[in-house]
Amino acid sequence: MKILVVGANGQIGKHLVSLIQQSDGFEAKVMIRKQEQAAYFENLGAETAVVDLEGEIEPIEQAADGVDAVVFTAGSGGHTGKDKTIMVDLDGAVKTIEAAKAANVKRFVMISSFDTTREAIQEANESFAPYVIAKHYADDWLRKTDLDYTIVHPGLLTNDTGTNQVELAGKVTRGEVPREDIARVILASLQDETTVGKEFQVVGGNTPVNEAIKLV
Amino acid sequence: MKILVVGANGQIGKHLVSLIQQSDGFEAKVMIRKQEQAAYFENLGAETAVVDLEGEIEPIEQAADGVDAVVFTAGSGGHTGKDKTIMVDLDGAVKTIEAAKAANVKRFVMISSFDTTREAIQEANESFAPYVIAKHYADDWLRKTDLDYTIVHPGLLTNDTGTNQVELAGKVTRGEVPREDIARVILASLQDETTVGKEFQVVGGNTPVNEAIKLV
């Protein structure tokens, strides 16, 4: 199973590519923004495609051609301007969804935000609201496709070493979760078809990822 | 026919409210952000509702309750941060659409941007792209409803005195158009049911607004 990781150079993305490359029957193809990011992934044995998420859909479609699933884990990041939020977190996500459809890739895993409901938008402070809005519409777009989607809503991301233990359900209490464990959740979702058409929140917890995924 | 003008305090909005108040059988209700903006419209005999487009849907729904049509002509404006683009031009528009649906108001006129197609997004420069993306998704949301919508795509807006003469079609050559004439086009659209389910670009031209509207 070949997985296109969009946003591979992000922190979750790097964990995910490593996990994929270590997993029997899985191989990663990475979509990255800059050629200088390629060597890192080539050293892991991953195929690379240099594509600008702010550009046209066609190069994304070409990157998705022939893969079995697409994972969207790109993010504008806190250090960029708010204009990047709508360009990457919303429009980049929608273009990736449309590219998957055009390339006949049915399986799609979206890394969303912890809560992207209308209520969450209204409760967000002015600084965070644009990001929640962008993720809200991206998730909405994906739900309205006929792709075999899974939407992962992670809690507060940390760089702590993963424990492979999570709490995972439609609704959980807000909390921290290591990026490494989110990468495990993504891979486990790709390995378990019961996650198709589902979405769930994930925080640190006491259930091994592979078991937690089965209870969704 | 009572028209809720959302974004009434904008330049197109002010022209539109004046035109509505001068038209037999039409009356304006204005949605404005600040109480201090109300007196201007009360002097024109218009009903006022002070509602924050960045807030909840319910107050917008209350403002729309009992009107016959909603016109969305709010805009974040060039002087605000890019975060307002996604909050007002996209999410504010979608909330207004949802409020109209909830209030059982079927008729909706959207003031969009000249070109909100995927191609226009890709051609826009980095500074303008967020706005085009926001309008793209707002227009898309409206098209997918069962509202009786009209989407007006104005050319480059000027403060010149209106001529009541326009060029108006699905596709026209980009050009200038006075805001006052866009207000006339909105009112004419509300007066002519042939514009339901249609969208068109408008620039300055040689055809009287009422005639141009009939040819859509």
Domains of chain B, by residue range, sit at 2-153
CA A191 to chain centre: 15
pLDDT of A17 higher than 90? yes
Residue contact A90–B122, C-beta within 8 A: no
- Average per-residue pLDDT in chain B? 96
Rounded to a whole number, what is the distance in Å from the CA of B122 to chain A's nearest CA? 6
Confidence at A60, pLDDT banded by 50, 70, 90: very high
First CA to last CA distance, chain A: 22
pLDDT at B83: 78
Q: What is the mean pLDDT of residues A16-45?
A: 98
Q: Which residues 6+ apart lie within 8 Å of A8 measured at CB?
A: A14, A16, A17, A28, A30, A31, A32, A37, A41, A46, A73
Q: Encode pLDDT of A113-170 as tens digits.
A: 999 999 999 999 988 999 999 999 999 999 999 999 999 999 999 999 999 999 999 9
- Out of B55, B118, B130, name the one closest to residue A87 (CB): B130
pLDDT of B80 higher than 70? no
Residues constituting chain B = 216
pLDDT at B149: 98
Q: Encode pLDDT of B85-107 as tens digits.
A: 999 999 999 999 999 999 999 99
User: How many other C-beta atoms lie within 10 A of the C-beta of residue B1?
Assistant: 13
pLDDT of A82 higher than 80? no
Confidence at B78, pLDDT banded by 50, 70, 90: low
Chain A positions in Cβ-Cβ contact with residue B87 (cut-off 8 Å):
129-130, 133
pLDDT over 70, % of chain B: 98
Residue contact B85–A90, C-beta within 8 A: no
Chain B positions in Cβ-Cβ contact with residue A133 (cut-off 8 Å):
86-87, 90-91
Chain A positions in Cβ-Cβ contact with residue B90 (cut-off 8 Å):
86, 133, 137
pLDDT at A83: 78
pLDDT of B154 higher than 80? yes
pLDDT at A76: 80
pLDDT at A78: 59
Determine whether A131 is an active site residue. yes
Residue contact B57–A118, C-beta within 8 A: yes
Q: What is the mean pLDDT of residues A9-34?
A: 97
**Spatial separation of the C-alpha atoms in residues B162 and B180, rounded to whole Å:** 5
Q: Is A124 on the interface with B (CB under 8 A)?
A: no
Q: Is B50 on the interface with A (CB under 8 A)?
A: no
Catalytic hit among A40, A131, A137, A149: A131
Confidence at B112, pLDDT banded by 50, 70, 90: very high
Phi and psi (nearest 5°) for B178?
A: -70, 140
pLDDT at A79: 62
Residue contact A83–B129, C-beta within 8 A: yes
Rounded to a whole number, what is the distance in Å from the CA of A24 to chain B's nearest CA? 39
- CA of A128: which chain B residue's CA is closest? B83
**Spatial separation of the C-alpha atoms in residues B75 and B73, rounded to whole Å:** 6
Rounded to a whole number, what is the distance in Å from the CA of A65 to chain B's nearest CA? 21
Q: Encode pLDDT of A154-183 as tens digits.
A: 999 999 999 999 999 999 999 999 999 999
- Out of B87, B122, B126, name the one closest to residue A129 (CB): B87
Q: What is the mean pLDDT of residues A28-56?
A: 97
Rounded to a whole number, what is the distance in Å from the CA of B176 to chain A's nearest CA? 26
Phi and psi (nearest 5°) for A192?
A: -130, 110
pLDDT over 90, % of chain A: 94
Q: What is the mean pLDDT of residues A51-74?
A: 97
**Relative orientation angle of helices B93-102 and B129-143, to the nearest 10 degrees:** 20
Cα separations (Å) of B80 from B6, B91, B131, B175? 18, 16, 12, 25
Q: What is the DSSP letter of A161?
A: P
- Out of B82, B122, B134, name the one closest to residue A81 (CB): B82
Residue contact A83–B82, C-beta within 8 A: yes
Residue contact B57–A121, C-beta within 8 A: no
- CA of B87: which chain A residue's CA is closest? A130
What is the ipTM, given to two decimal places?
Answer: 0.91
Chain A positions in Cβ-Cβ contact with residue B127 (cut-off 8 Å):
83
Q: Is B46 on the interface with A (CB under 8 A)?
A: no
Helix segments in chain A, DSSP class H: 11-22, 38-43, 58-64, 82-84, 93-102, 118-123, 129-143, 179-191, 209-214
Rounded to a whole number, what is the distance in Å from the CA of A122 to chain B's nearest CA? 6
Tell me which architecture the domain covering A2-153 has in CATH.
Answer: 3-Layer(aba) Sandwich (3.40)
pLDDT of B79 higher than 80? no
Q: Is A85 on the interface with B (CB under 8 A)?
A: yes
Rounded to a whole number, what is the distance in Å from the CA of B120 to chain A's nearest CA? 11
Q: Is B133 on the interface with A (CB under 8 A)?
A: yes
Q: Is A81 on the interface with B (CB under 8 A)?
A: yes
